[in-house]
Amino acid sequence: MLKYTVRRLIQGIPTFFGITVLSYMLMLAAPGNPIELLTFDPNISVEAREKLAIQAGLNDPWPLQYLTWLIGNDWRPVDMNANGVLEEGEYGVRQGILRGDFGRSFFYKRAAITVIGDRIPATLELGVAALITSLVLGIPIGVIAAIRRGGIFDNFSRVMAVVFNAVPSFWLGIMMILFFGSILGLLPMNGRCGTVLVGGCPPLYARLEYLIMPTFVLAAGGIAGYSRYMRTSMLETISRDYIRTAHAKGLPGRTVWFKHAARNAMIPIATFLGPALTGLWGGAVITERVFGWPGVGRLAVEAVTQRDYPVVMAIVILGAVSTIIGYIVSDILYALIDPRIRFS
Amino acid sequence: MRKLSAIVLLVVAALVLSVLALPAAAQDEGGPGEGGIIIESNFGGDIATLNPIIISDASSSAVAGFLYPGIIGLDPETQNAAPNVAGALATGWEYDETGTVLTIYLRDDAFWNDGTPITAADYLYAAEAIKSGETDSARTYVFDSIESIEAPDDYTVVVTFKEFNCRSFNDVNDIPVVPAHIFSEVFETYADMNEDVDYNLNPTVTFGPFAFGEYRPAEQVSLVADQSYPDTILGYVSPAGWIYKNVADQTVEIELLLAGEINVVAGVTPERQQDMRDNADIQTFDYPANGYTYMGFNLADPTNPQDGLDEDGNPIDQGNHPLFGDVRVRQAIAMGVDVASMVDATLFGEGVQIATNAIPTSWAYDDSIEPWPFDPEAAAALLEEAGWIDEDGDGVRECRGCLYAEEGAPAEFELLTNAGNTTRERIGEIIQSQLADLGIKVNFNAIDFNILVQTLLGQEFDAIIIGWSLGLPDDPDGTAFYGPENDLVGSGFNFVSMNNEELNRLYNEAAHVPGCDQDARAELYIEANRLLRNELPYLYLYSANAQYAVRAEVEGFDPFPSFLYWNIDAWRVISAE
């Protein structure tokens, strides 16, 4: 299995580079640039703007910008003070992502990796809570719907699945905020922690109420999706001979459904788990914005709007790596769960 | 009986005393840091840095404004530079006879909160850092006008300008004052400010009613009362602190205010302003926002954008826009668009129509300059006179002897604005519909702001709806927007390619009035504004009303336009108990 994992990881390297080249090109091809946006101010002279663009390396051709991003520019002379003259010993200061330097955010004026690092705990917190919620609710709903096929519960869950899949999450979020936050005053409407002068954010258990609404909104699609997948998979499984045999052997219904059928029906779900990890980043973009959740998703939207290239690229890498790893984990899980599949 | 009377008297006396005592309790003055917490929503995005040398975003500036003194203060009431303003250093200033040397006298009773005196060296440090070009400060433009800054002693700053220009005065205040003794320790070189230095987001030595509390990324910044601040109104800082809480949605922002989770919203959207006024739990203050919205016309040929001047300062032939090159067409459009109704329809009446680039609070505002009247008939007649006639009866006029378009070309143009700004999108639709009635076809598109900026600066557009936020102190000069030297393809802000000799003369004269007398300058600017009203490089639309909304339990709320917090050290949140 170790050999298999290592091989898959090595296979992931060209994919990773492919993603970065494409993303970098697309990002630079998008109109506008960060300096134009940061200095859209008539007070700021053309020369001052030009200087900032040179310092940021934005006037370099894109392959050079990509190369700088990848391997840095501390090995070549760079006009760091943008005075038009390359002075002796005037080298770049960037080390490139291959040496762990993801560049400096144009907007936040600090290392892109620090900016993202500040946000990752919040996104993970929300993402994991949403994933657990969607699995814990989605799978049993699917199993019960399959067992009670054609019944009220099955029809109800089907309707609800369509509704939750169809409702845009920003709308669901705003409605929940208005109802549970504003009208009923039951849940906090914004943010991840209480508003206190000093003392930081308390531990998770002391602020669970902040997690409820965003988790539900982020998990809504997942609950709907998993319940439908699980129902289909379960229906397929319970029509198998071994289930009929189990019934024929006189095993109690509950044992057959949950011990024999559900466990086997969950195998296809494992394949969804890997991509689900990536999906959580994607879904969080909207949910985090609506609830003012201080996570990576919200940062991603802001960074794209502000053309904050280093932050955008760092988030792309985060997404690319989690996707690649997600698929590998998914394949490994599949092989672990289903003895018919072997690592080869 | 006497006993009974005595009891009744005692009871009455007790009641009277208790009634007298009640208001006394309610009016309890509180004490240092006992005035509760002021929580303002921050809809403008997370702060980037609290190092004022490199700040370039509004959220960071809002926070840093509490932490560092200005060199010259602004009087909150007049919005003009004034000596001895709380929180600022200048006690006075004077120009030499050439008007190029400005001597600023600083107070000697201001101290950083670590006890170090605030001196001219603190201003010089920031100036040197900006001038070095090693930081990524966008303020290097101040040295376009400033030749040098010196400090003959600890409490005197001498600024020498490259040439006499009244507009240069504002550049002096764009250089911040920072604790040089700390900054030179924390940042070994100026370039270090660009690095991941903790101090940029954790400043410990400050001067203001509040000191830095803590920063929770993308959540909030908190400041705590700093009782060492000498310029308080009550003799102490009343609020325990101030929190700038990030809120991502403007609907949620108002709900949070109504629920009492925050107590200040500094920018209520027009559609909610009346709700706020009607709400007994909220106190409001309305004022014309320091900015305006306009429709800009590209006067030059958009298919071949050229700079305004060549290297020797001679005008370059930029061609003429087929429609807008003719001032009569611009004037016809101004009369064909009902701006007053537009303000009602898009801003719920929360705005004022403007005639020029001077908003009502400007010192160069003159209410005798009136906007163009809405007069579709006069507009149609003017278009006919300009050679735009609908001969084929298809509802769109064609060029029949017009000045700059090909014969037979339809009266058609593309109007752009930034997508997501629903007010501007609605304005575009109104203009599109009203100009269709006039026989002008408008292709209206709302596009991504980045693309808009690029198209705008690239001068490849026909017309655009956008707005300007103005700075303080008020500077009525419009050289940046209408001066030919700023007509630079790809970077200049005179993207409408305005070049009017009379206007250039007026601006130049106003910038060189001997002694920079404000009244004398205002006269020239008013004349310039009258010219702009008639020449219409922009169709000036409106200045929207801004509103501060603050919970009723906040005492001391007494703002001036654009100066919400001038007396925040005396604010107090009365607790519900």
Omega before B473 within 30 of 0, i.e. cis: yes
* B493 chain-A contacts, CB cut-off 8 A: 42
Task: Specify whether B88 is located in the same domain as B139.
Answer: yes
Asked whether residue B187 falls in the same domain as residue B212, the answer is: no
Q: Let me know whether A106 and A117 are in one domain.
A: no
Per-residue pLDDT at B6 exceeds 60: no
Nearest to B294 by CA among B528, B487, B496, B542: B542
User: Can you state the angle between helices A208-238 and A169-176, rounded to 10 degrees?
Assistant: 130
Among A59, A81, A112, the domain boundary falls at: A112
Stretch B204-210: mean pLDDT, rounded? 96
Instruction: Tell me the chain B residues in contact with residue A45 when contact means C-beta distances shorter than 8 Å.
Output: 140-141, 144
Query: Is A190 contained in some domain?
Result: yes
The whole-chain average pLDDT of chain B stands at 89
Contact A43 B259 (CB under 8 A): no
B38: enclosing H helix or E strand: strand B37-42
- Give me the number of domains chain B comprises: 3
Could you report how far apart the first and last alpha carbons of chain B are, in Å?
Answer: 41
- What's the CATH code of the domain at B60? 3.40.190.10
User: Would residue A344 count as lying in a domain?
Assistant: no
Placement of tokens 């700079």 in the chain: B307
Together in a domain, B173 and B250: no
- CA A187, A190, A191, A195 torsion: positive or negative? negative
Is B57 within a domain? yes
Give yes or no: residues A187 and A303 share one domain: yes
Give the whole-number percent of chain B exceeding pLDDT 70. Answer: 94
- Do the domain assignments include residue A343? no
- Same domain membership, residue A264 and residue A144: yes
Same domain? A53 vs A140: no
Tokens of B222: 């908190």
Q: Which among B133, B220, B252 has the least Cβ separation from residue A51?
A: B133
Range of the domain at B34: 1-67+208-263+553-577
Residues A24 and A80 in one domain: yes
- Determine the average pLDDT of the residues in B445-453: 88
Model pLDDT, residue B576: 57
Same domain, A208 and A286: yes
Look-up of token digits 């200049």: B492
B455 with B373, same domain: the answer is: yes
B400 and B475 together in one domain: yes
Question: Has residue B386 got a pLDDT over 60?
Answer: yes
Region B515-541: what's the mean pLDDT? 93
CB atoms under 10 Å from CB of A180, counted, come to 17
Are B432 and B522 found together in one domain?
yes
- CATH code where residue B484 lies: 3.10.105.10
For residue B18, the model assigns a pLDDT of 43
Question: Which residue reads 């004269």 in tokens?
Answer: B509
Chain A residue at shortest CA distance from B259:
A182
Domain boundary among A112, A144, A166: A112
Residue B6 structure tokens:
């005595």
B83 falls within a domain: yes
* Burial label, B458 (beta-carbon count in 10 A; 0-12, 13-18, 19+): middle
Question: Each residue of B249-280: pLDDT tens digit?
Answer: 888 899 899 988 999 999 898 889 999 999 99
Look up the pTM and report it.
0.84
Instruction: Mean pLDDT check: name the lowest of A122-131, B17-26, B181-190.
Output: B17-26
pLDDT, tens digit, 9 for 90 and up, residues A110-126: 889 989 998 888 988 99
Task: Tell me which of B135, B168, B195 is where a domain ends.
Answer: B195
Name the percent of chain A lying above pLDDT 70: 95
Distance from CA of A108 to the nearest CA of B (A): 4
Residues A172-198: tens digit of each pLDDT: 998 999 899 888 889 998 889 888 888
- Mark whether A237 and A332 lie in a shared domain: yes
Residue B19 has pLDDT above 70, yes or no: no
Sheet holding B146-153, edge to edge: B90-95, B101-106, B156-161, B146-153
Work out the mean pLDDT of chain A and round it to a whole number.
84
Say what the pLDDT of residue B252 is. 85
pLDDT of residue B481: 92
Q: Render pLDDT for A281-299 as a digit per residue (tens, 0 to 9).
A: 666 888 888 888 998 888 8
Q: What is the pLDDT of residue B421?
A: 84
Mean pLDDT throughout B108-124? Answer: 96
Residue-wise pLDDT tens digits, A312-321: 999 988 888 8
Q: What is the mean pLDDT of residues B158-176?
A: 92
In a domain, B510, yes or no: yes
Whole-angstrom Cα distance, residue A78 to residue B465?
40
Q: Are residues B299 and B232 in the same domain?
A: no
* ipTM score of complex: 0.82
> Considering the domain boundaries, does residue A236 fall inside one?
yes
Q: Tell if the CB–CB gap between A191 and B45 is shorter than 8 Å.
A: no
CATH number at A147 reads 1.10.3720.10
Domain that holds residue A274: 113-337
User: In which residue are the tokens 């050290």 written?
Assistant: B569
Does residue A137 sit within a domain?
Answer: yes
Check whether residue A58 and residue A169 sit in a common domain: no
Does one domain contain both B422 and B537? yes
Which positions in chain B touch A179 (Cβ < 8 Å)?
none
How close A316 gets to chain B, by Cα (Å)? 20
Verify that A144 and A198 share a domain, yes or no. yes
pLDDT surpassing 90 at residue B502 = yes
> How many pairs of residues across A and B have Cβ atoms under 8 Å apart?
176
The answer to whether the CB of B443 falls within 8 A of the CB of B431 is no
What is the domain count for chain A?
Answer: 2
Which residue would you say has higher pLDDT here, B515 or A213?
A: A213
CA distance B112 to B179: 7
User: B225 and B353, same structural domain?
Assistant: no
Q: Mark whether B389 and B469 lie in a shared domain.
A: yes
Residue B280 maps to a domain: no
pLDDT one-digit tens code per residue, B543-555: 999 999 999 999 9
DSSP, residue by residue, B357-397: S--TTSTT--TTSPPPP--HHHHHHHHHHTTEE--S-SSS-
- The per-residue pLDDT for A283 is 62
Give the best residue of A55, A176, A197, A217 to mutate against chain B (max B CB count within 10 A). Answer: A197
Closest in B196, B251, B454 to A31, CB measured: B454
pLDDT, one tens digit per residue, over A17-61 is 898 899 899 888 887 788 877 777 777 777 777 777 887 788 888
Give the three-class secondary structure for B55.
coil
Cβ B220 vs Cβ B38: under 8 Å: no
Packing angle between helix A267-290 and helix A208-238, nearest 10 degrees? 150
Window from B190-199, B324-333, B457-466, B507-516 with minimum mean pLDDT: B190-199
Contacts A81 to B, Cβ<8 Å = 132-134
Determine which helix (DSSP H) or strand (DSSP E) holds A138, and give its type and residue range. Answer: helix A112-147
In a domain, residue A131? The reply is: yes
